[in-house]
Amino acid sequence: KGYQFIAKKDLLRWVIMIFIGIFTALIACCIDIAIEEGSGVKFNFLKKQVDQCVEDGCLSIPFLYWILCNLVPVLIGSLLVVYVEPVAAGSGIPQVKCYLNGVKVPRIVRVKTLIVKAIGVTCSVLGGLAVGKEGPMIHSGAVVAAGLSQGKSTTLRKDFKLFTYFREDHEKRDFVSGGAAAGVAAAFGAPVGGVLFSLEEGASFWNQSLTWRIFFCSLISTFTLNVVLSTYHGRPGELTYSGLLNFGKFDNTSYDFIEIPLFILMGILGGLLGALFNHLNFKLTVFRIRNITKRYVKVLEAVLVSAVTATVGMGMILYTNDCKPLGDDPTKYPVQMYCGDGQYSAIGAIWFQTPEGSHKLTSILMFFAFYFFLSCWTYGLSVSSGLFIPSLLTGAAWGRVVGMGMEYMFPDKSWVNPGKYALIGAAAQLGGVVRMTISLTVILIEATGNLTLGLPLMITLLMAKWVGDYFNEGIYDTHIRLMGVPILEWEPPPLSRNIHATEVMSTPVISFSSVENVGRIIDILTNERYNGFPVVDTPMYNDGRTFGKIRGLILRSQLIVMLQHKLYNETAESWSHKGYTLKLFRDAYPRYPTIQQVHVSDEERHFTVDLRPIMNPSPYSVMHSSTLPRIFKLFRGLGLRHVIVVNDNNEVVGIVTRKDLARYRMEKHMGNMRLSELTILD
């Protein structure tokens, strides 16, 4: 296996990335087409009912039909999520973020999760919930990438024996980055934004060739989606459907200097609204974790939200009298309702489609208020759902109000374009909620196809993030924190230079000798939950503070695979190294058995096992006097999970894990910053 193997492996990485791009886009297309077709059927059915009842004067029947048309899909979606695969709830972005950050979330990249997610998000959108289909795309891409790159699936119980050399954490994570990027590229038609999303959320180390592969994967994904959707819409070869999300045309929209303060103000407003959204959602999620634990209650809540959403929507259409002449309608499905012939209900269009077009101020304000709270209530529900579209709609609504104000104040300025303010408002709202930085800016630039608006978007997002960060964290980080995942920040907390390794580390340390007793290994693995153990020379004297001279580091999974394949011997002397192949570990990856599944006879418990051929003989270690920022940079820069702390004589005195490190984080609250040491419960 020389350089030729390396070249082959490198080529295969490209080929796999191409397929990840194609399959991610195809899944996005399937979801999109299913929603499109389903909406059409639903709309035509309801329209018939309403048209008939407007004449007959009955009102309750179409209302009941509407409720039903919304309840049934939501019920199906939430049943699937609750009973089949709970990890498919929500947008999946927090989980993908954790995965890319190096924390394993169980079952997150399984095919079963993907299927539930795809059907679930179709149901949620068809059910008229305040959700979008974009977030789940990112998760779908991640699953596709994990499945394709490993050449096997646990859900399908199928091992294709392909790409076995990619079966390790690092390689798999690289492919998942590509899948997430392809998901963003498909959802927003933003290949560069996809790459930046992957980097922003995942990469701690910029790798040139990996980034290029990810970009290729994103481009392939956008291209495939474009080809399929153009063909579906009857215009093959035109390539005009660059993403699922369409902001409309912003080709020649420009802006003026004097608008910049307005963008800053809108950014601040977005930050405030986003912080409010996150605060409410945080309270709600804590309430849900405490009180909504039974499965059927989760389903009931989803159904309740669906009913309320439908009722509010119907109510607004009935009680506002916002009719527009037909013809210049921005929607595909005009709703006549109580409007005269040749007219359609503008508020109905808002509810069925996007709040574009010109509307009455009151309609938009009502839409904004209801949608804000509904989407806040919806996020965290046990259904597959994305947060991008609801945030963008909410923001576009108040952005349009700002636009109306500007038109009123400057009636004859050419740069006053209500669509632009809607876009800025959407960006501000979304930025205030998710607090993404460069990736969100580039996604919005690519989705609008207008580079000139880059600076206004950037300024808005910057203000939204700063203002929002003053109050709380982004919604994804909040949910990650509520999941109890030890995710690391980008930089070590400031002013932590006086915290030393001895304070951060866990001690006492459970360690093994290089030649260890089988019984002891089993006992320790059964009783302790650590994933990494230092291998040491037996210390000459044991004062309980040092644990022998460092020799290496061995992982729980390695020990389990060794025990499982009975790589031990009766006596320590008669040792043979046969059987230690990488293949054993690759075959078991990534779902190693637990220690309970390994059966060792009582006699074998007295055997010995040689850890030296398998352990990592030169693990990263730091001196006990090292500072927190230094350890942090080591973890973040190299993507480590364990660092051994040694004293002057290279004797192990402790071990630092991500969890130890994640305890130290900067609390920012109302402008006060302090370094807090959290207690993370297992």
Closer to a second copy by Cβ: residue 92 or 202: 202
15 binding a second copy? (CB under 8 A): no
Closer to a second copy by Cβ: residue 608 or 621: 621
Q: Are strands 642-646 and 621-623 parallel, antiparallel or unpaired?
A: parallel
User: In what order do the strands lie in the sheet containing 512-513?
Assistant: 512-513, 532-536, 550-555
| Interacting residues with a second copy between 610 and 629 (CB under 8 A) | 617-618, 620-623, 625-627
40 binding a second copy? (CB under 8 A): no
User: What would the x/- binding string for a second copy be over residues 443 to 462, using CB under 8 A?
Assistant: --xx--x-xx-xx--x---x
Output the smallest distance, CB 215 to a second copy, in A.
Answer: 5
Selected binder of a second copy within 40, 325, 342, 494 (CB under 8 A): 494
Using alpha carbons only, what angle is made at residue 193 by residues 190 and 199, rounded to the nearest 5 degrees? 145
Selected binder of a second copy within 28, 129, 220, 305 (CB under 8 A): 220
Selected binder of a second copy within 104, 630, 659, 663 (CB under 8 A): 630
582 binding a second copy? (CB under 8 A): no
How far from 291 is each of 65, 294, 297, CA to CA, in Å? 32, 8, 9
216 binding a second copy? (CB under 8 A): yes
Determine contact, residues 420/435, Cβ cutoff 8 Å: no
Selected binder of a second copy within 78, 101, 222, 343 (CB under 8 A): 222
Closer to a second copy by Cβ: residue 342 or 494: 494
Output the smallest distance, CB 679 to a second copy, in A.
Answer: 23
| Interacting residues with a second copy between 240 and 279 (CB under 8 A) | 242, 254, 256
638 binding a second copy? (CB under 8 A): yes
| Interacting residues with a second copy between 96 and 135 (CB under 8 A) | none
235 binding a second copy? (CB under 8 A): no
The dihedral built from the CA positions of residue 88, 90, 95 and 97, taken in this order, carries a sign that is positive
| Interacting residues with a second copy between 583 and 602 (CB under 8 A) | none
571 binding a second copy? (CB under 8 A): no
Closer to a second copy by Cβ: residue 42 or 481: 481
- Of 372, 337, 362, 373, the C-alpha closest to 352 is 337
CA–CA gap between residue 466 and residue 484 (Å, rounded): 25
Residue 642 is classified by DSSP as E
Selected binder of a second copy within 50, 184, 199, 310 (CB under 8 A): 199
| Interacting residues with a second copy between 157 and 196 (CB under 8 A) | 189, 191-192, 195
DSSP string, 61-99: HHHHHHHHHHHHHHHHHHHIIIII-GGGSB-SHHHHHHH
650 binding a second copy? (CB under 8 A): yes
Closer to a second copy by Cβ: residue 183 or 431: 431
Selected binder of a second copy within 112, 549, 586, 659 (CB under 8 A): 549
Output the smallest distance, CB 638 to a second copy, in A.
Answer: 5
Determine contact, residues 110/157, Cβ cutoff 8 Å: no
475 binding a second copy? (CB under 8 A): no
Q: Are strands 512-513 and 550-555 parallel, antiparallel or unpaired?
A: unpaired
Q: Which range binds a second copy by CB under 8 A, 34-42, 238-246, 312-320, 366-374?
A: 238-246
Determine contact, residues 500/628, Cβ cutoff 8 Å: yes
Selected binder of a second copy within 319, 408, 490, 541 (CB under 8 A): 490
* Residue showing tokens 């109890």: 484
Closer to a second copy by Cβ: residue 221 or 378: 221
546 binding a second copy? (CB under 8 A): no
Q: CB-based contacts of 517: which residues, under 8 Å, 6+ apart?
A: 605, 606, 607, 608, 609
How far from 229 is each of 27, 114, 178, 238, CA to CA, in Å? 12, 21, 22, 10
Selected binder of a second copy within 58, 673, 678, 680 (CB under 8 A): 673
Closer to a second copy by Cβ: residue 289 or 495: 495
- For the beta carbon of residue 574, count every other beta carbon within 10 angstroms: 7
Determine contact, residues 656/513, Cβ cutoff 8 Å: no
203 binding a second copy? (CB under 8 A): yes
287 binding a second copy? (CB under 8 A): no
Residues that bind a second copy (rule: CB under 8 A) add up to a total of 71
Q: Which range binds a second copy by CB under 8 A, 124-132, 157-165, 273-281, 667-675?
A: 667-675
How far from 220 is each of 4, 189, 224, 488, CA to CA, in Å? 27, 11, 6, 31
Q: Which range binds a second copy by CB under 8 A, 24-32, 198-206, 276-284, 295-303?
A: 198-206
Determine contact, residues 646/539, Cβ cutoff 8 Å: no
Closer to a second copy by Cβ: residue 106 or 237: 237
Q: SS3 for 552?
A: strand
| Interacting residues with a second copy between 424 and 443 (CB under 8 A) | 437-438, 441-442
- For the beta carbon of residue 240, count every other beta carbon within 10 angstroms: 11
CA–CA gap between residue 347 and residue 364 (Å, rounded): 8
| Interacting residues with a second copy between 363 and 392 (CB under 8 A) | none
7 binding a second copy? (CB under 8 A): yes
Output the smallest distance, CB 528 to a second copy, in A.
Answer: 26
Closer to a second copy by Cβ: residue 162 or 495: 495
How far from 566 is each of 534, 542, 582, 607, 609, CA to CA, in Å? 21, 31, 15, 10, 9
Residue 164 is classified by DSSP as G
Determine contact, residues 135/385, Cβ cutoff 8 Å: yes
204 binding a second copy? (CB under 8 A): yes
208 binding a second copy? (CB under 8 A): yes
CA–CA gap between residue 324 and residue 339 (Å, rounded): 8
488 binding a second copy? (CB under 8 A): no
Please measure the distance between the N-terminal and C-terminal CA atoms of the chain and give it in whole angstroms. 43
681 binding a second copy? (CB under 8 A): no
Closer to a second copy by Cβ: residue 357 or 629: 629
